Structure 1
Amino acid sequence: MTKNGLASSLRAVKLGASSLLIASQLAMISTLTTASAYALEGGMTPLTIERMNASPALAGTSPRGLKLSPDGQKVTYLAGRKDNQNFYDLWQMDVKTGKSSLLLNADKLASNELSDEEKARRERQRIYGEGIMEYFWADDSKALLIPAAGNLYYFSLADNSVSLLPIGEGFATDARLSPKGNFVSFVRDQNLYVLNLATKKLEAMTTDGGGVIKNAMAEFVAQEEMDRMTGYWWAPDESAIAFTRIDESAVELVTRNEIYADGIKLTEQRYPAAGKNNVEIQLGVVTLKNKAIDWVTLSDDKNKDIYLPRVDWLPDSKHLSFQWQSRDQQKLDLQLVALDSLTKPKTLVKERSDAWVNLNNDLHFLKQQSAFIWASERDGFNHLYLFDLKGKLKTQLTKGNWAVDELEFIDETAGWVYFTGRKDTPIEKHLYRVPLAGGNIERVSSEAGMHDPVFADNQSVYLDYFNSLSQPPQVSLHGDKGQHLAWVEQNQVKAGHPLYDYAGLWQLPEFKELKAEDGQILQTRLFKPVPFDAGKKYPAVVRVYGGPHAQLVTNSWSEQDYFTQYLVQQGYVVFQLDNRGSAHRGTKFEQVIYRHLGEAEVNDQKVGVDYLRSLPFVDSNNVAIYGHSYGGYMALMSLFKAPDYFKAAISGAPVTDWRLYDTHYTERYLAHPASNEQGYEASSLFPYVKNYQSGLLMYHGMADDNVLFENSTRVYKALQDEGKLFQMIDYPGSKHSMRGEKVRNHLYRSLADFLDRQLKNGK
């Protein structure tokens, strides 16, 4: 963690030759290369399942929660402890000196049992761990707000003091500092509260929350499917707060069994299954001065069955924008209201699709001109557009047969728009910039791999959270043109690094392009066994996800690949293919699946197996498929619909009948059940159960509140009724993500044992 140059001459060459890197990556995609050429340097200790999940983390020091102070002087981040990678403390790095130090030991904060609401919220956020899990900078960079187990702490950097804020009794969730740092807001007991930091006066902004009424809270589908974890938004000048009020009374109340080792917990949950009622949502604005609430007109009285995926204030604090989405998700309108006329919204932009309109987080209203940047897939790929405040298009900032990932930062003074995207290759994410007035796009990032930048609020410096197949996550500080300024965490795999003893056996994949039945390009990657003998035939495991908004075939570091590394060391070929329907390839590639899931996706996986069969070192009679969640669905569909392609399948927490899944996700791809009954039936597993022959292992968390356990039990019953033999492992108390070292050790040991028995011992 020192302010020095790049670690090796190799990386120095890479930084100075980005064009060569691009050419190299394109060549790697189009032709098979030798995996051993990319092997890491290190020891030859075989990887074990227990080491995969133990502390310290194999990836080394991998900070999360990266932030730059608003003044750009400090880098802050959360880092797990060496003896417990899932317990996080708050660290800092001084930008000028490059010196890192512990900022706040989490032991100084109270450790309480999380509320059920917070547990569910963290599951939606995919947050797992203890200690400090989130924090917020004050606008003046002099203090931090730290929520911890329902309490709120104010940390002053002037004297490194921590004070417990007087928020009263109960569990505070979704806490944050107001834009200027004068207030703290949070939700408790389904109402919104504001604490004045100067006077310590606590006031309720809403009072009718409780039961089916929730104020300032995101509903289930907003959290799970829309990437909206909050239900309130501060005006920039702190004069008012916009918030949602949801009424869940129309949503079906289901009693869900969460099965634990020591008993069964009956949980009542209002779950909006496909075709059923959603919440009724309102958008209000409450002023801090008099606590008066006024309501925004979202739609007419005849059309309240809508979604509200995004809300954003304009810089003047006098206007509020919101995104209105139709239930079928084929219409998305950006609307604008003035605070003095909340009943008269004006539509700025309309997005329309014959399939569905994807959501994004890329709306940004400019401060120095009456304009905003908006992301749209209207030309088939996600690109950035500049509009004026009347909704007139000024210019398209990016274009081409490639996709923008995310709008990252706008430097209005210098006139640059920074964004991440796939301009050079779909298997990497890079940082680019384009003039705000329009013009040529410049690539800012250099290293081949995945770049996730975090910009300072008031300066054009950024943190680069970078990783690749050969580099566990590392964090560095960069200037506006990408120039390297300092390391926050270099995380080199060298002697002393947790991965080093195993790195000599670490295998990197070979990339190849295949063609789908409609001629579209499919990206694949193949991991060869180690040691590898070209004269032998090896069993193969196809690792799949296959669902929308996800991508497996990338030049990236992933903990999910640890099991892949274990398998290749056990003598397996591991293969991955991103079928049509997956992300970052444009609407034509993604929307093939509309109204019929599990058809094009399975056909593409069959193309991948046909390729595997053509390889002389693959035992074509011993190919298995393994996936979790949508990948679990894909594993079952592939085994049931193409039993001649797969000898065995492992299906984890699968959706098996889409009528059991939620409205926003399911209807996006399959439409409403009433209008697509045939599509729902064809996309379900049950018409194909009779095709099943043998070789199935299913597992599921018995307290899963995302993909409900019923999805698996229905398959169990159907297979039993058919007299079909299969195996199942169910985990008491586990949620969808299958967290916990002991759970994961048992799970992966079971999967490895199953694959050995199916693909090796039966030969």
Structure 2
Amino acid sequence: MDVLHSMNNGKQYSVLNFDRTNRSTSIDIYDYKTLKKVKTLVNSSDFEAIPYFTDYTFNKDENKVLLAIDEESIYRRSTLGKFVVYNIAENSIHTVANYKIQEPTFSPDGEYIAYGFENNLYYKNLETNEVTQITYDGKKNEIINGITDWVYEEEFRFVRAFDWNVEGDKIAFIRFDETNVPEFSMDIYGNDLYQTQQVFKYPKAGEANSLVSLHIYDVKTQETTKVKLDKKYDDFYIPRIQWTNNPDVLSAQYMNRHQNELDLWMINAKTNSSNLVLVEKDKAYVNVTDNLTFLKDNSFIWTSEKDGYNHIYHYDKNGKLINQVTIGNWEVTNYYGYDEKTNTIFYQSVENGSINRDVYSVKLNGRDKTRLTKSDGTNSASFSADFSYFINSFSSATNPPEYTLHNAASGNLIKSIKDNDELSQKLLDYNTSKKEFSTIYVNGNDLNMWMIKPANFNETKQYPLFMFQYSGPGSQQVSNQWNSANDYWYQYLAQQGYIIVCVDGRGTGFKGAEFKKVTQNELGKYEVEDQIQAAKQLGKLPYIDASRIGIWGWSFGGFMSSNCLFKGNDVFKMAIAVAPVSSWRFYDTIYTERYMMTPQENPLGYDENSPINHVDKLKGDFLLVHGSGDDNVHLQNTMRLAEALIQADKPFDWAIYPDKNHGIYGGNTRLHLYKKMTHFINETLGDKIHKDAASKEKSEVKIKG
């Protein structure tokens, strides 16, 4: 159900449908009660100017819709594209710009669209076609207006750094001055005789960040005012801005560089005065979320970990706590919204076990909490605009995804929308194994774990153990949800006689702040200790061959698998590290310093747990993989690690995928990578059967040669 949108009337919803035969896209409207298609709102095949569109956004009144065409990715979340406005009443389309732009956004009345282009901000009057330029100083790798820089996009998870107020007469935006941010360059090999270079600003830990400032543009006077606060900040971030229901009052979140203090400001655009209404502090770090919700009286809903678990709070407009809405030794994992008619908050949590997700409702005063979903697994809701219905997406380790319609008041099932019975039937043709969930007691903690055994498992035999983990702060890999692509690979490995295990160690999420933040200032210490100890304990099981234990991971998981092989050289026989961080000194400011402070403040924390400093301990087999076009975890990490291994005279295998980014995909790339990893596993962990088969294959090749 792609790009699901609940219509304002609360009775209908829209989705984006793609017709593969005609290569056209349409926005189709469905009725919640009957689940039948009511009409097709717009189809790309009806307009010669639109080959097909890939996304859509309604204006507030839903009489216009913005269609994205010819989009191209910049980084993980940012895109460039051409856009047209479809006027529903007139059945006409209107091109926003004849060039590719970023983040076009309707004004509340639908009369204007603001957007970013070449680091400046503009808005267009859709009636007169007049384009007004708001900023003029934008320049590549120097000044960006209204669009985030690389590190904000990646780590604060947003791209559009501008926002219309509720009356559409003001635009607030963040300006990024990245002049002093060091540049990073990557060779792009392509197909030409000479390679090119991608050069962009990337602040590594301890280096200069963009200088940010907040501005408010007045549409009527066409004047821009710089926001002034009643507090001096030396080195800071502005991770969120959002207008309140008062057209003159803007909320802005300011955070210190250590990210252990977050200030919520209310800024009056008329008087350019500011009021600090809430201060969040933490001995480790404060999370930035998108959960801030303003009620009609401008009191607001906020989520915080301040009692040790992530919960929902209600504050008045001046920041005085009215009440803590949810409480308990469990985490709120998603905030869906507030229904002012029934005074009800809807949210998702792990109250039913940290590997599960359920949807709940609760009154604003914290009473009458109701579990709205009934099945154990992963439930995720999309509510109708009036909160009378929700579409639930459910899956578990044994149930493929299904979509069902529910009554929001009771959670009762109304109708099934889509199931995956065909997939379930298809999988019956394969000899798959059950993913077994359990906990393992390691270093004083019950850690969540799953295990996949061969389908023909024989407890009197011994099997090699292959472990997977990610282990990054607040992450989770052991969850009761349907297969990811990797799970099918694990089933394939299990068919060949491996036991696959995943353990979420200390530092991972959804078990409280203390469990998650114990790794503060020492990334890779406790997480590695847990993986090594878990492997030791698993190796004592009668059906696991302790002499054949391997581990792998990607990104943070690659950092971990490298460390595990080096530091746990008496436990692990092999490791695969894909796109690993080899030293946190090479990674960006916001992510790294959130957990480690700066290298200048915490040099031991950086160096004692970086794989690059432990290469001398390598005894087993090591496969190192990276994409040369990785703008996130740079190839520099692997090159420096490879050089350290070479100088330590340690043998290893490696693969560099040309021009591939952090995801390492495109064409046959993923197939090639997973075949290579499978071959490496068979060569290093495989039993006599695998080695005999490999030997036979080699001899056949020689004979044919």
Report the CA distance between 1:134 and its aligned residue: 2.6
Pick from 356, 370, 393: which aligns with 2:321? 393
More moved, 469-478 vs 651-660: 469-478
Q: Secondary structure at 1:736's aligned position in 2? A: coil
Please tell me whether residue 531 in structure 1 is matched to residue 449 in structure 2. no
Q: How does 1:215-614 map to 2 (within 5 A)?
A: 215-260=145-190, 264-298=195-229, 303-342=233-272, 344-367=273-296, 369-481=297-409, 482-488=411-417, 490-494=418-422, 497=423, 500-501=426-427, 504-517=430-443, 519-557=444-482, 558-614=484-540
CA distance in 1, matches of 2:205, 2:671: 35
Per the alignment, do residues 106 and 571 of structure 1 end up closer, same or farther by CA in structure 2, a change over 3 Å counting?
Answer: farther
Structure 1, gaps ≥5 residues long: 1-62, 113-129
Q: How many residues align?
A: 674
Q: Secondary structure at 1:389's aligned position in 2? A: coil
Per the alignment, do residues 407 and 728 of structure 1 end up closer, same or farther by CA in structure 2, a change over 3 Å counting?
Answer: same
CA distance in 2, matches of 1:441, 1:503: 43
Q: Secondary structure at 1:673's aligned position in 2? A: coil
More moved, 64-73 vs 305-314: 64-73
CA distance in 2, matches of 1:577, 1:135: 40
Q: TM-score, normalised by structure 1?
A: 0.84
Per the alignment, do residues 522 and 752 of structure 1 end up closer, same or farther by CA in structure 2, a change over 3 Å counting?
Answer: same
Q: Secondary structure at 1:386's aligned position in 2? A: strand
Cross-structure match for 1:186: 115
Partners of 1:539 and 1:619 within 8 A in 2: yes
Deviation per residue, 1:130-159 (Å, 9 max, x gap): 964432122223332112222112234557
Deviation per residue, 1:584-627 (Å, 9 max, x gap): 12110111111111110011112321332232222221111011
More moved, 90-99 vs 686-695: 90-99
Cross-structure match for 1:48: none
Per the alignment, do residues 742 and 321 of structure 1 end up closer, same or farther by CA in structure 2, a change over 3 Å counting?
Answer: same
Q: Secondary structure at 2:404's aligned position in 1? A: strand
Partners of 1:545 and 1:552 within 8 A in 2: yes
Partners of 2:11 and 2:384 within 8 A in 1: no
Report the CA distance between 1:441 and its aligned residue: 1.9
Q: Secondary structure at 1:755's aligned position in 2? A: helix
In structure 2, what residue type is equivalent to 1:476? T
Cross-structure match for 1:642: 568
Partners of 1:95 and 1:486 within 8 A in 2: no
Q: Which has the higher contact order (CA 8 A, sep 6+)?
A: 1
Cross-structure match for 1:135: 56
Report the CA distance between 1:512 and its aligned residue: 1.3
Pick from 45, 66, 69: which aligns with 1:145? 66
Deviation per residue, 1:306-326 (Å, 9 max, x gap): 001111111121211111100
Q: TM-score, normalised by structure 2?
A: 0.91
Per the alignment, do residues 501 and 404 of structure 1 end up closer, same or farther by CA in structure 2, a change over 3 Å counting?
Answer: closer
CA distance in 2, matches of 1:222, 1:546: 22
Q: Secondary structure at 1:750's aligned position in 2? A: helix
CA distance in 1, matches of 2:21, 2:579: 30
Report the CA distance between 1:234 and its aligned residue: 1.2
Pick from 641, 646, 652: which aligns with 1:726? 652
Per the alignment, do residues 507 and 330 of structure 1 end up closer, same or farther by CA in structure 2, a change over 3 Å counting?
Answer: same
Structure 2, gaps ≥5 residues long: 71-80, 692-705
Per the alignment, do residues 340 and 157 of structure 1 end up closer, same or farther by CA in structure 2, a change over 3 Å counting?
Answer: closer
Report the CA distance between 1:296 and its aligned residue: 1.1
Per the alignment, do residues 255 and 111 of structure 1 end up closer, same or farther by CA in structure 2, a change over 3 Å counting?
Answer: farther
Partners of 1:259 and 1:703 within 8 A in 2: no
Pick from 143, 149, 155: which aligns with 2:86? 155
More moved, 169-178 vs 277-286: 169-178
Cross-structure match for 1:64: 2
Report the CA distance between 1:179 and its aligned residue: 2.7
Report the CA distance between 1:513 and its aligned residue: 1.4
In structure 1, what residue type is equivalent to 2:223? A
Report the CA distance between 1:83 and its aligned residue: 8.8
CA distance in 2, matches of 1:504, 1:255: 46
Cross-structure match for 1:208: 137
Q: Secondary structure at 1:683's aligned position in 2? A: coil
Partners of 1:259 and 1:702 within 8 A in 2: no
Deviation per residue, 1:713-760 (Å, 9 max, x gap): 111111111221111111112110122241111111111111111111
More moved, 130-139 vs 592-601: 130-139
Q: RMSD across aligned C-alpha pairs, in angstroms?
A: 2.5
